[in-house]
Structure formats: C-alpha cells, structure tokens
Amino acid sequence: MITSISTQIQLAARPVGWPRPNDFATVQIELGELAPGQIRVVNEFISVDPYMRGRMSAAKSYSAPFGLGETMTGGAIGRVVESASDAFPVGSVVLHQFGWRDVVQEDAAGFKVVPEIPGAPLSLYLGILGMTGLTGYVGLTAVANMVPGDTVFISGAAGAVGTAAGQIARLLGAGRVIGSAGTDEKVALLTEKYGYDAAFNYKSGPVREQLAAAAPEGIDVFFDNVGGEHLEAALDVFNPGGRAALCGAIAGYNSTERKVGPDNMVNMITRGLSLKGFTLGSYLDLAPEFNEHMTAWFTAGKIAYDETVVDGIGNAVDALLSMMQGANTGKMVVRTAVMADVIR
C-alpha cells in the first residue's frame, strides 16, 4: 500500500429519508510531505454510528452538520506510519475523529495514544472500551441516576450502546435488566450471553404489551436507543420517580413522516418522571472514571461483546445503512482492509 494516497468518503448531498449511495462520493487525495508536528496514520478500523445520520442533515443539532463536499468525520483507530511529532513514534496506536479515510495526515494534536488493555482487540476502543461504552455508562449514571436495585429497561439492547449499557447496569448493581431487540436471535443473545433477565422482539408484537409483560413490577430506569413506541411503552410502566436517558431515536432518523410522540406524557406529572436527552459531548469528563471501571471489568473477564465487522472503506456507506436497519449485533465497525498488508 502506498500511504501517500488517502481514500476518503465525502458527503455529496443531504439525504432525504434513507441515505443513498449518490449522497456520498469517494475521493483520493495525495498527501504531501509531513509538516512539523504532523503525523501520518493508517487506519485499522473506522466507526459507523447512528448519530452520523443526524449530522447529515442541515438542521440545528448538538454538533455542526457534516459539510457537503467534506470527508465524513467520526471515530477511528490506526497506527502511526510516519511522524514529525516526538509524542507519537511510528507504530503508536492512536484514536482520532478524522473519520472515513484509510490514511490520515494531520497535526498530532488531533490524536490520542490508546492505553492498550492486554488482550483487547483494537476495534473495541471504538466500541465498548471507548465512546460506545462510555455512552452506556454516562446514560445510566449521570443522566438516569441509576441506583443499585433499580429495574432497568434498555431498548435496542443488542446494538453497540445497548450491549454495553446492559452489562454496565448489571455490574453497577441493577436489580432486573430487561431488553428489546429486533430479531429472535438477538433476543436469545440478550438472555444467554449478556445476562438479561427478560428480553423481547419488538418486531413481533406491540412494545407496550411486551414490555408490560416483561416488567410486571414496573421499571425505574429506561435507557432508550430507539424512541417512538418504546418511549410510550416505558411511560406506561414507569414506577414513580422513574428516569429515562434518551440516547437514540433510531426508529425515526430516516423517517420523512411526522413522528408522533407518546400519548401518555401526562404520566410524567402524575408519577414524577423525568426524561433526559443526552449526547456524549457533554459528559466527556466522566471518561477517566469510566476507563477505570471498564479496565477492571474487562481485565476480570466480566465483559462480553459482539462486533459486526465490514471489510473495506468502500463499504462504509453500506455498513452505516445496514447498521441503521439493525443488521449488526454489538458495535459495527469498518476494517480498512489494507492495514494487514502494511503493518502486520
């Protein structure tokens, strides 16, 4: 592989409804000589995440929309192949947000050396050991104020954040943990591999009825990755003082129809409930605390995980779409296939 050419995926048009291949363009950029302080990194994995759909729209949001004609940004992990920075010797493993490109060359300030946990595959730093795990941790603790003994319901529980959140809830002392997922296979995984007490397939019947059956004594915490019907169902069964962390609403991200909200908002008043939306950016100060917990849990063998790996940066768009359709179990990552040739 010639690392002086960077293949990058750019946003070419703002999608209406589901993104289509024409909304993206692949470009090849010739990288110049390193400027002082720069490093060149060959990516091993790039992350595709639900929040990226939001950033494709021009609407006001928590982070600036992706620019048209600009390379899609997002989490990625790779190795330094050339360096003009003493802090990043060649061979260092680094995390960054430069996103959908196989080779990145930027000022070293944009990268972070990964403190590797022995035995952990690199891709996990984009997932349960990284932002995804932190999202689950933050949602349960700082946003939903989970306390030991709480009954916790997690929607989209077999997804990247869901698999993290379910395990973290248990490790933090949740009483009963309930999850929903979109296939019977995922549902089985939740109870068999991830230690859920109850799980149901949200495509096989009304969420309201299934959740009520799975939570006969109500729920205290709701970690929502899906939105829509799930939120309505949770509002039905919340115990007084219940708290929801709204992390995702993937059900509606690609909808062009009016998204109708819950019909039972009044329960919020009568039961003293709280709903709190969040994005990770406001809670990054919890990263050290999370890292400490997660390193201990992972090292002790207490963390299970699944990954869905798609090969080739050229398949990044397909990976994103299939992830939003629920094709993944656990974190979806794209492996930039060239890595093996260059580095290993």
Least separation in angstroms between residue 139's CB and a copy of itself is 11
- The single-letter DSSP state of residue 7 is E
Q: Which two tokens stand for residue 273?
A: 């409930």
Pairing outcome for strands 76-83 and 93-96: antiparallel
> Pick from 272, 284, 299, 311: which binds a copy of itself (CB under 8 A)?
272
Least separation in angstroms between residue 255's CB and a copy of itself is 10
> Left if phi > 0, otherwise alpha if psi is -120 to 50, otherwise beta: which for 86?
alpha
> Pick from 264, 291, 315, 322: which binds a copy of itself (CB under 8 A)?
264
Please identify, using beta-carbon distances, which residue of 162 and 248 lies nearer to a copy of itself: 248
Helices 287-299 + 131-138 axis angle, to 10? 110
Please identify, using beta-carbon distances, which residue of 235 and 316 lies nearer to a copy of itself: 235
185 and 178 Cβ atoms separated by less than 8 Å: no
Total number of residues that touch a copy of itself (CB under 8 A): 37
Helices 160-171 + 287-299 axis angle, to 10? 80
**Does residue 300 bind a copy of itself (CB under 8 A)?**
no
**Does residue 265 bind a copy of itself (CB under 8 A)?**
yes
**Does residue 282 bind a copy of itself (CB under 8 A)?**
yes
Please identify, using beta-carbon distances, which residue of 27 and 265 lies nearer to a copy of itself: 265
Judged by CB under 8 A, the chain residues 204 through 243 that form the site for a copy of itself are: 227, 231-232, 240-241
**Does residue 259 bind a copy of itself (CB under 8 A)?**
yes
Least separation in angstroms between residue 314's CB and a copy of itself is 30
> Pick from 72, 215, 234, 273: which binds a copy of itself (CB under 8 A)?
273
> Pick from 76, 152, 165, 246: which binds a copy of itself (CB under 8 A)?
246
Q: What burial class does residue 42 get, using C-beta atoms within 10 Å of its C-beta: 0-12 exposed, 13-18 middle, 19+ buried?
A: buried
**Does residue 178 bind a copy of itself (CB under 8 A)?**
no
**Does residue 270 bind a copy of itself (CB under 8 A)?**
yes
> Pick from 76, 275, 294, 339: which binds a copy of itself (CB under 8 A)?
275
Q: What burial class does residue 142 get, using C-beta atoms within 10 Å of its C-beta: 0-12 exposed, 13-18 middle, 19+ buried?
A: middle
C-alpha triplet 187, 253, 28: angle, nearest 5°: 105
How far apart CA 140 and CA 152 sit, in angstroms, is: 9
Q: Which residues pair with 221 in a beta bridge?
A: 152, 243
Least separation in angstroms between residue 40's CB and a copy of itself is 34
**Does residue 247 bind a copy of itself (CB under 8 A)?**
yes
> Pick from 22, 118, 260, 288: which binds a copy of itself (CB under 8 A)?
260
**Does residue 279 bind a copy of itself (CB under 8 A)?**
yes
Judged by CB under 8 A, the chain residues 29 through 68 that form the site for a copy of itself are: 54, 60-62
Q: Which two tokens stand for residue 58?
A: 């021009």
DSSP string, 139-163: IIIIIT---TT--EEETTTTBHHHH
> Pick from 32, 216, 258, 285: which binds a copy of itself (CB under 8 A)?
258
151: CB partners within 8 A, 6+ apart: 174, 175, 176, 177, 178, 215, 217, 218, 219, 220, 221, 239
Site residues, a copy of itself (CB under 8 A): 54, 60-62, 227, 231-232, 240-241, 246-249, 252, 258-279, 282
